[in-house]
Structure 1
């Protein structure tokens, strides 16, 4: 994190210095800002290469650590899944009890839902 702050601060200082230089040379307004932005960008590309590399290394290391945490959590969850499956299974139903009432029948009438509405009962 320190390298990110250092690099960002150095970029801002370069921009302020470039803008001051452009302002002293007569560049004012939006044109002066654009020229200062281009100058500071080119200067930071050359002058801050080492800090940029250090910043990118620290970001990559941090992302690697965060991904490592996710992988460890996934591995731990995978280990827990078989244990949770055996504990949550409850009593097993037999095929005979499941065959007693077909899915298409309603418990109230014993017939299919559409048949109960088709014929009126006297």
Structure 2
């Protein structure tokens, strides 16, 4: 599943870039544990929105690969079940 790996790496890259930018931009006291939690929560929300827009094509490729794999496995199962009868 190459498309799964590509999509996952792209999502992680978007998250890391978002967290890095927020770390540089937000004036939080990172000595407090709550500040880091706020940073990570914002990074998850923002990177999710950005990924939804920017990674639409990769998501569609991944979805198509999953559907193809499922249909292929189903076809093989039906074929082997037909041989048993």
Q: Mark yes or no: TM-score above 0.5.
A: yes
**Residue 17 of structure 1: how far off its partner (Å):** 0.2
Q: Provide, for residues 14-43 of structure 1, a one-character-per-residue CA deviation record: whole Å limited to 9, x for no partner.
A: 000000011112354100000000011000
Alignment correspondent of 2:70: 63
TM-score for the superposition, normalised by structure 2: 0.88
Aligned pair count reads 78
Residues 55-84 of structure 1 deviation map (CA, whole Å, 9 limit, x = unaligned): 000010001111111101110011xxxxxx
Kindly indicate whether residue 68 of structure 2 is the aligned counterpart of residue 75 of structure 1.
Answer: no
CA distance in 2, matches of 1:16, 1:3: 20
* TM score, norm. by length of structure 1: 0.62
Greater share of residues in helix? 2
Query: How well do the aligned residues superpose, as a CA RMSD in angstroms?
Result: 0.9
Q: Which of these two proteins has the greater Rg computed from alpha carbons? A: 1
Runs of 4+ in structure 1 deviating by more than 3 angstroms, as ranges, are none
In structure 1, runs of 5+ residues without a counterpart are: 79-122
Larger relative contact order (C-alpha < 8 A, sep ≥ 6)? 2
